[in-house]
Chains A and B, each alone.
Chain A
Amino acid sequence: IQMTQSPSTLSASVGDRVTITCRASQSINNWLAWYQQKPGRAPTLLIAMASSLYSGVPSRFSGRGSGTEFTLTISDLQPDDFATYYCQHYNGYWGFGQGTKLEI
């Protein structure tokens, strides 16, 4: 299964609302997660099962979708949100999208 994220780079400002899209080459139902990664750090889990916010993650993060198309939306961007975001599928095998760099 191939995961295609778009855009690869996204420029935004504090307070904006942004959406990142992830498309799967075939249906993965809702087996889709989103991670945030900052330079030099390990990724951290944001959302599991397409739309379930992981413990401790701010509510300005939200995920939607099923089948082959998924979105991650960040509302009211905060300075700490500027990072790279990855989607990840699970269908027995695991795989990541190529990442979206969210920059100021």
Chain B
Amino acid sequence: QVQLQESGPGLVKPSETLSLSCTVSGGSINNYYWTWIRQAPGKGLEWIGNIYYSGDTNYNPSLQSRISISVDMSRKHFSLELTSVTTADTAVYFCGRGTIFGVVNTWGQGTLVTVS
């Protein structure tokens, strides 16, 4: 059964770059959309973007200028970089496995990133 695990610093300073990684275990990285979603404290879910295993990316237009998502097929992980962070970027960041049906059927447990 596929499992996802986020990793990265829990605290980032304003104006710096937030970098997170998600490791995929127990399944193939092929044929899926590797996805980042976040949730600010007490708020709803926000799609950040995703990367197809082939490398094609799709980003939330509201964040597009600050986002980069990459995938490392050999190491079976994918990464998120979010530049020029502010306190508004404080959130739990989830990585997920998206399918061609446009759903996330597997989620990481989430990691809280605080910008302060």
Task: Enumerate chain A interface residues (CB-CB to B < 8 A).
Answer: 31, 33, 35, 37, 41-45, 48-49, 54, 86, 88-90, 92-99
- For chain A, what secondary structure do more than half of its interface residues adopt (helix, strand, loop), or is it mixed? strand
CA distance A88 to B47 in the complex (A): 9
A-B contact pairs, 27 of them (CB 8 A): A31-B101, A31-B102, A33-B102, A35-B104, A37-B45, A41-B109, A42-B107, A42-B108, A42-B109, A42-B110, A45-B103, A45-B104, A49-B101, A88-B102, A90-B103, A93-B58, A93-B61, A94-B35, A94-B50, A94-B98, A94-B102, A95-B47, A95-B60, A96-B44, A96-B47, A97-B44, A98-B44
Write the residues of chain B forming the contact surface with A, with a CB cutoff of 8 angstroms: 35, 44-47, 50, 58, 60-61, 94, 98-99, 101-105, 107-110
In addition to A48-B105, A90-B101, 7 A-B residue pairs with Cβ atoms within 8 Å of each other are A33-B102, A42-B107, A48-B101, A88-B45, A93-B58, A94-B50, A99-B44
Q: A93-B61, A94-B50, A96-B46 are in contact. Are A48 and B103 (CB under 8 A)?
A: yes
Q: Are B94 and A88 in contact (CB under 8 A)?
A: no
In angstroms, Cα B61 to Cα A94, docked, is: 10
Contact A42 B94 (CB under 8 A): yes
- By a CB distance below 8 angstroms, the chain B residues around A42 are 94, 107-110
Contacts of B45 in A (CB 8 A): 35, 37, 43, 86, 88, 96, 99
CA distance A42 to B107 in the complex (A): 6
In the complex, the answer to whether B101 meets A54 with C-beta atoms within 8 Å is no
Which residues of chain A come closer than 8 Å to B102, judged between CB atoms? 31, 33, 48, 88-90, 94
From A91, which residue of chain B is reached at the shortest CB distance?
Answer: B102
Give the docked Cα–Cα distance between A35 and B102 (Å).
13
Among A42, A48, A97, max chain B CB count under 10 A is at A42
Give every chain B residue within 8 A of A93 (Cβ-Cβ).
47, 58, 60-61
